[in-house]
Chains A and B, each alone.
Chain A
Amino acid sequence: MNKSYFFNLKSKQKIIILVLIFTFLFSLITGFWNGSYDLEIIKFFKNELDNIQQFVLKKIRFPRVILAAFVGSSLALSGACLQGLFRNPLADPGLIGVSSGAALGAAFSIVLGSEIIVGGYLKTFLLPLSAILGSVVVIVLLSIITNGFKNSNITYIILAGIAINSLAGVGIGFLTYISDDAELRGLSFWSMGSFEGISWNLIIPSIIMILITTLWTLTFARKLDIIQLGENDAHRLGVNIRKLKINIIISSSIIVGVSTSLVGMIGFVGLVVPHLVRLLGGSNHNYLLIASILFGSSLMIIADLISRTIIQPAQLPVGLITSAIGAPFFLWLIYNMKRK
């Protein structure tokens, strides 16, 4: 990524990105500011908070909001990349089976985890690790089926993804059947997503992984632009299609696998955010990727804020909120688009 990344944008896109940066900062501050526990964040800087207020802010609210930002950006970024790569507006991390792989891994750990005896520290990481393992297995499987992604046909990869999805569905279905009451509830809450109970030691490794992968992914922007001309033309223009495919599928799997493993399934962000951003400002990827990241994290922070305050002191699953905000807005946009 070089300096020209930002300056190559059209002026309208620059404005949109600036607005999105402000939106992001605004939602970050709003996220820190509000919560079910009453406290004034200004007092934090003046060091006037008592112990329990400091605890709530530092150990509960800060990590939660920060993780929400990273997860939102991951889902949106991978959605934008996959839509670009597959030249298909319906592509999202779910399409190639990564999310369902993670879901199967998580289901394994929720239902059978108590039977594998693991002590203390590892227990916290058992669910995330098995979810990541699940998505890695999917990638390996996908790579074997497509002969190391040599089989360049996109339709082929999508079909393989659909088959893998239903295979994972069988596994999840079976685990649901043998689960007891508590595990069943665990599964259903996991599938609706939640940022509850996030602690620093849980998120720091994930944040680092997401950050590095995101920076790496941003370097694909130009190649993603070229591939819109069609794979043959892109190939003639010197893009190594197979390498690009492998890179994007792997990077998306990392960020989605890591995010999903920590917070469960959160729908709609990966699909809708890139579309919104594209409708607002255009589809060149050096704009699209950055704007998706900013929009995705702002949306997720706000969705989580709603989830933890709307029925406080209880909370709603955040996946419900993202879909509830995203879907009507999206419909409205499509409706307007058609009228134009």
Chain B
Amino acid sequence: MNNRKYYLYLFLLLIFNWSTSQKNNSCVKTINPSKVVVAGGSITEILYFLNLEEKIVGIDVTSNFPEETKEIQSIGYVRNLSSEGILSLEPTLVLGEDDMGPPTTINQINESGIDLRIISESQNIDGIIYKIMCIGSIMGKEYETENIINNQILNQANELKNIQKKNNLKDLNIMLVLSMQPSSIIVAGNNTSGNSFIKMLGAKNIFDSFEGWKSVSKESIIKKNPDYILIPEKNLHKNSEVEKLSEDLMFKNTNAGKKGNFIFEDGMAMLGFGPRTILSALKIAKIINE
């Protein structure tokens, strides 16, 4: 089954390459992948995942995993890149995500003749697999990438599906918190990476009625009554203990607060939609399963 799925992806990849007229979106092998500048955390993660980190000469500030990325030259924030800065690293290939910008900088890099690829993202398991395949193919490592996907990613994805089948996660109400200040709690609404992550878990986002990351009132949290609350680990410094959170009046009156169902996870692992995201979803599904 795994193999069949792989061929399906390969087929889709080929179709995609034929159908697309913009060279920026293609996954065709690049001529010289020796010096790569990356604008997008998940791409850096994938290059490390595929053991291609030696080729990286520059990364943006969202590329902060793994730890070793700190040693690499930073090209700044992914939406505010400098064309001369990128060219000064003399890359042979520039890999970016959809949000790479500003557009004028992208035009200038294109004009300079350097191979620039923008890897489109769809925030689900298939999207992650596609992204890994595409990068592997651009870098000329289709075979190795295929092995890694078969041996690791597809296994994790299947395991996640099995848990979802066994337990009915569909009825679980989940809330994903981005930041928690006393005055405002910002949560994932519709069309956010947080919403996509909850979907990947197979559960229901209680705040999918509005778009984007927005702050919500304490009353509405009590009213929506989440069963589980996901919190990026970065916010741990203030509300570190689960007990403390459960005692908070706001959470006390929710299912999550009553049972102490607070799950802490690395924010970039959950929301980056690189190889770690599936693993992260699997981990959380297992916690819920217990």
Residues of chain A having any CB pair with chain B under 8 Å: 35-38, 51-52, 55-56, 59-61, 123-124, 179-182, 185-186, 189, 194, 196-199, 202, 308, 311-315, 317
Contact = CB atoms under 8 A, between A and B. Distances in A.
A290 to B, nearest CB: 32
Contacts of A189: 79-80
B74 A37 contact: no
- Report the 8 A-B pairs with minimum CB-CB distance, sorted nearest first: A197-B104, A314-B76, A313-B85, A36-B88, A37-B88, A315-B82, A197-B105, A36-B85
B88 A313 contact: yes
A316 to B, nearest CB: 9
Contacts of A124: 103-104
A179 B74 CA distance: 27
Given A52-B87, A313-B73, A315-B76, A198 B82 contact: no
B113 A194 contact: no
A38 B114 CA distance: 17
B233 interface: no
A198 B85 contact: no
A194 B80 contact: yes
14 contacts: A37-B87, A59-B108, A179-B212, A181-B213, A182-B99, A185-B79, A185-B80, A196-B83, A198-B104, A199-B108, A313-B73, A313-B76, A313-B86, A314-B77
Contacts, number: 102
Contacts of A52: 87, 112-114
Contacts of B191: 180
A202 B104 contact: yes
A61 B61 CA distance: 24
Interface in B59-117: 61, 73-77, 79-89, 99, 101-105, 107-108, 111-114
B79 A59 contact: no
Contact of B82 (A55, A59, A179, A313): A313
Interface of B: 58, 61, 73-77, 79-89, 99, 101-105, 107-108, 111-114, 191-192, 211-213
Contact of B83 (A38, A197, A311): A197
Contacts of B81: 196, 314
A312 B86 CA distance: 9
A203 to B, nearest CB: 11
Given A196-B102, A314-B76, 4 more contacts: A55-B87, A55-B113, A196-B105, A308-B84
Contacts of A182: 79, 99
Contacts of B83: 60, 196-197
B118 to A, nearest CB: 14
A317 B101 CA distance: 14
B193 to A, nearest CB: 9
B87 to A, nearest CB: 6
A60 B211 contact: no
A55 B109 CA distance: 10
A248 B164 CA distance: 69
Contacts of B80: 185, 189, 194, 196, 315, 317
B104 A312 contact: no
Nearest to B80: A189
A176 to B, nearest CB: 11
A23 B145 CA distance: 57
B88 A197 contact: no
Given A314-B82, A314-B85, A199 B76 contact: no
Nearest to B82: A315
Contacts of A308: 82, 84-85
B112 A55 contact: yes
Contacts of B88: 35-38, 312-313
A199 B104 contact: yes
Given A35-B88, A56-B84, A189-B79, A199 B112 contact: no
Contacts of A59: 108, 111-112
Nearest to B60: A314
A259 B270 CA distance: 41
B84 A180 contact: no
A315 B111 contact: no
Q: Which of A35, A37, A179 has the most CB of B within 10 A?
A: A37
A314 B75 contact: yes
A314 B74 CA distance: 6
B84 A197 contact: no
B82 A36 contact: yes
A38 B81 CA distance: 18
Q: Which of B87, B113, B191 has the most CB of A within 10 A?
A: B87
Contacts of B82: 36, 196, 308, 312-315
Contacts of A56: 84, 87, 112
A311 to B, nearest CB: 7
